[in-house]
Amino acid sequence: MIFNGSNESLWWREAVFYQIYPLSFSDSDGDGFGDLTGIISKLDYLSDTLGVDALWLSPFYRSPMRDWGYDISDHTDVDPLFGDVETAERLIEEAHRRGLRVIVDYVMNHTSDEHPWFIESRSSRESSKRDWYVWSDPKPDGSPPNNWVSVFSGPAWTLDEASGQFYRHTFLPHQPDLNWRNEETVEAALEVARFWLDRGADGFRLDAAHQMMKDPRERDNPPVPDGYERPWKDMGEYDDFVHLYDLGHQDIHDVHRRFRSVVDSYPHHPYTVGEIHIFDLPEWATYYGENLDQLHMPFNFHLMACDWDASSLRVLVEAVLWHVPPGGWTNWTLGNHDERRLATRLGARNARLAALLLLTLRGTPFLYYGDELGMQDVEIAAGEGKDPWGENVSFLSRDGARTPMQWDSSADAGFGSDEPWLPVNTDYKTVNVQFELEDPGSMLNLYRRLLAYRKSSKPLRSGSFLTHPSSNEDVYVFERSANGDTVVVAINFSSKMQTVDMAPGRVVVSTAPTSERLVGPEGLRLPKQEAVIIEPYV
Ligand code: NOJ
Ligand code: MG
């Protein structure tokens, strides 16, 4: 099926998204924290210099900042660190003026423990909001109701001494889980979605979207059996159990259908992408809904879990595309505020191949702020960390990937504060927007070439996908076609020059600074660790 790009309701298929972590993007008032006015001042960079189409903003709502905004105490207010609701509206408006759409984070698996809903709920067992959260009695020996552990480690239950019951929290004890089986809670949560849609938001990224429904019988998770292979990175203590009962209960699909019907009632075609950390592909795909009536897309994190070689990527990409239901559309991403940075995980050279892959696969690409510069994780000195997960499990700290965006070579990298909340990477003198714009070989200019070419290329934006017959264990080669136009993508993962058999054509984008190369009758000569996009002669 070839998507016709003129269909406005499907704008998100051809868009390139860019994730902004507001605390770290641009600080307009010098208080050390990025803010909404800061983001507004950088919109021209995003729409013109870089050339993305849509933004995802991590939370900017009122919050005690225990989990840096993912612990919300008022969903319909903006935290004073970031500005106010009026500034949020202005940001959306200014983005729209530049043709940029804006999706916002929707964090409804839990709230902050300082949210008035929770304060009321914990006030007594008889509270009218008691059932808005998940409360359970201790076991007879006083221990927690079951063996579930929090993602951030430690028990997923905390005892409220006053009322003698435990409340459940998938993450920090400061983030009590909402009860999505209570109709009043659901109504209140949906009202929040309407609040932001009414203010022009183009949709939502749904936080913890597979964790909102758990086993109502609260059965113990089984311990991992011998030889069990983790589907994802090392998660510490969380990996001691198979997560059979504390995520992805079948009722979750009703929640997503319900949410989608709210979103679909708006005429401006809002879009939803859900944080779905499920690596079993058939299960992952159920989040589209049988009639494509749940999430527009579950987030596709599979590239980040894949070995970095031509054979593994080929298998992975085909498997993902095969599992996307008919009429559905996927996304690809190589970084976000929860992961180590792309250039740190794969190294600078591979990060260039990754950029070309990300922007040529069939699906909507999501970029993480700063990855377009090749920003690297920063080592944070012991005791100076900010991430509560890092406090519990040091190797899982996310601070390193959340440092200030590097805009220029001035002392604060142009972020806007003398003392930013997290340190600026010491490489900022050469890894920054201003410096990289001057260097044709920079990561930023590679992203700009890729984004500009993608924008002009129907095959890349919406075309079909086919692995090319000359794909092998050294070079990953695939084709994208639309309306009779084809482009070929070739990525040489090996450490030597490779000759790839293909029809003659011309290189239009290369990870090398210049792309003045032709593919002759002898095929493509592709230097080690280089990648190219080719337009074959017809
Ligand atoms: C997933 C978010 O991406 C992460 O940053 C956050 O800590 C947890 N959910 C809890 O909201
Ligand atoms: Mg500020």
Task: Give the helix/strand (H/E) hosting 87.
Answer: helix 85-97
Cβ count within 10 A of residue 265:
10
Q: Which two tokens stand for residue 76?
A: 């319909």
- Residue 399 Cβ inside 6 Å of ligand 1? The answer reads no
Going from the Cα of 80 to the center of ligand 2, the distance in angstroms, rounded, reads 9
> From the candidates 275, 371, 530, 535, which is the catalytic residue?
275
Q: What is the pLDDT along the chain (538 residues), one digit of tens a residue?
A: 233 344 789 999 999 999 999 999 999 999 999 999 999 999 999 999 999 999 999 999 999 999 999 999 999 999 999 999 999 999 999 999 999 999 999 999 999 999 999 999 999 999 999 999 999 999 999 999 999 999 999 999 999 999 999 999 999 999 999 999 999 999 999 999 999 999 999 999 999 999 999 999 999 999 999 998 888 999 999 999 999 999 999 999 999 999 999 999 999 999 999 999 999 999 999 999 999 999 999 999 999 999 999 999 999 999 999 999 999 999 999 999 999 999 999 999 999 999 999 999 999 999 999 999 999 999 999 899 999 999 999 999 999 999 999 999 999 999 999 999 999 999 999 999 999 999 999 999 999 999 999 999 999 999 999 999 999 999 999 999 999 999 999 999 999 999 999 999 999 999 998 766 778 899 999 999 999 999 999 7
Tell me, letter by letter, the H, E, C secondary structure of 481-496. Answer: EECCEEEEEEEECCCC
Residue 190 to residue 266: CA distance in whole angstroms: 13
For ligand 1, atom 5, name the residue with the nearest CA: 338
Question: Are 33 and 69 within 8 A, CB to CB?
Answer: no
CA torsion angle for 23, 24, 28, 33 (degrees, to 10)?
50
Q: Which two tokens stand for residue 185?
A: 């809670």
Beta bridge partners of residue 136, listed in sequence order: 166
- The H-assigned helical ranges of 124-218 are 183-198
Q: Which residue has the tokens 């290189």?
A: 507
- Residue 390 Cβ inside 6 Å of ligand 1? The answer reads no
Residue 404 to residue 24: CA distance in whole angstroms: 4
Task: Give the helix/strand (H/E) hosting 106.
Answer: strand 101-106
- pLDDT of amino acid 516: 66
Going from the Cα of 494 to the center of ligand 1, the distance in angstroms, rounded, reads 36
- pLDDT of amino acid 346: 97
Q: For a pocket test of ligand 1, which of 207, 304, 393, 399 has the largest count of ligand atoms closer than 8 A to its C-beta? A: 207
Going from the Cα of 32 to the center of ligand 2, the distance in angstroms, rounded, reads 6
Annotated active-site residue 187? The verdict is no
Residue 302 to residue 322: CA distance in whole angstroms: 13
CA atoms within 13 A on the CB side of 359: 32
Which of 149, 146, 195 shows the shortest CA–CA distance to 171? 149
> 320 phi and psi, to 5 degrees?
-65, -50
CA torsion angle for 344, 347, 348, 352 (degrees, to 10)?
-110
Annotated active-site residue 275? The verdict is yes
Going from the Cα of 520 to the center of ligand 1, the distance in angstroms, rounded, reads 50
Return the ligand number nearest the Cα of 387: 1
If phi over 0 gives left and psi between -120 and 50 gives alpha, with beta otherwise, what is residue 452?
Answer: alpha
Question: Are 196 and 205 within 8 A, CB to CB?
Answer: no
- pLDDT of amino acid 194: 98
- pLDDT of amino acid 519: 87
Question: Are 477 and 485 within 8 A, CB to CB?
Answer: no
- pLDDT of amino acid 515: 64
Domains, the chain:
2-108+182-211+259-451 (3.20.20.80), 116-168 (3.90.400.10), 464-536 (2.60.40.1180)
- pLDDT of amino acid 517: 74
Q: Tell me 427's DSSP state.
A: G
Q: Which two tokens stand for residue 367?
A: 């970029």
- The H-assigned helical ranges of 24-101 are 36-41, 43-44, 85-97
CA torsion angle for 357, 359, 363, 369 (degrees, to 10)?
110
Going from the Cα of 119 to the center of ligand 1, the distance in angstroms, rounded, reads 22
Which of 449, 426, 442, 420 shows the shortest CA–CA distance to 507? 449
- Residue 392 Cβ inside 6 Å of ligand 1? The answer reads no
Question: Are 316 and 349 within 8 A, CB to CB?
Answer: no
- Residue 339 Cβ inside 6 Å of ligand 1? The answer reads no
Q: Which residue has the tokens 């989040």?
A: 287
Q: Which atom of ligand 1 is nearest to the CA of 107?
A: 11
